[in-house]
Amino acid sequence: MKVEPVPKTEFRAVEGNLDATGRRFAIVVARFNAFITERLLLSACDGLLRSGARRGDIEIVRVPGAFEIPLAARTLAETKKYDAIICLGCLLRGDTAHYDVIVNEVARGIGQSAQETGVPHAFGVLTCETLEQAIDRAGLKMGNKGFEAALAAVEMAALGQAISGQRSAVSEKQVPPSRFASRRNDKVKSKSAKNKRK
């Protein structure tokens, strides 16, 4: 089997880095299934600290369950005090359709909050069939999704700053004045000059 290297693109790309220095983060964590969510929370904090965030720049907000995460995340985002919001929870499938309803609403609410507030939201809500799957994603075989969500939040916060710091592709100097506008301006100027002479 031959492994080929990833081809390099010829285009310049804007990317966020993994430097959380000077940035503020809020973590919304559900208490329901705390056996899992506390592991996600510890790893998310670890990810932020390893990326350069200060302990004082990390705010933790606890909510009863995953369904309450979007409202808390949106309320935090609307304060404009945070560079990114990290959402952590754990949903396990049961015998009823309750799981599907909650999963859809949580995902929709978090996504809508991010889009409408312009503050990046990292999705660290586990949606698992079994408790074993959740345990695997909270620090065992599958890594820790809390840590991954923290790194995503750091990168997106940096990306937002990188994008907003770029010069516009269309600056005022690049836009030529309209030939009609200049004619109108000339006529107005010449009329006012004539009125002054009288």
Q: Which amino acids are annotated catalytic? A: 98
Q: Which residues contact 118 (CB under 8 A, 6 or more apart)?
A: 160
- Is 101 within 8 Å of 67 (Cβ atoms)? no
**What is the token pair recorded at 159?**
């990306």
- Is 85 within 8 Å of 77 (Cβ atoms)? yes
Using CA atoms, how far apart are residues 112 and 74, in angstroms rounded to an integer? Answer: 9
Using CA atoms, how far apart are residues 198 and 187, in angstroms rounded to an integer? Answer: 17
Using CA atoms, how far apart are residues 65 and 91, in angstroms rounded to an integer? Answer: 9
- Is 58 within 8 Å of 117 (Cβ atoms)? no
- Is 16 within 8 Å of 154 (Cβ atoms)? yes
**What is the token pair recorded at 93?**
């499938």
Pairing of β 84-92 and β 58-63: unpaired
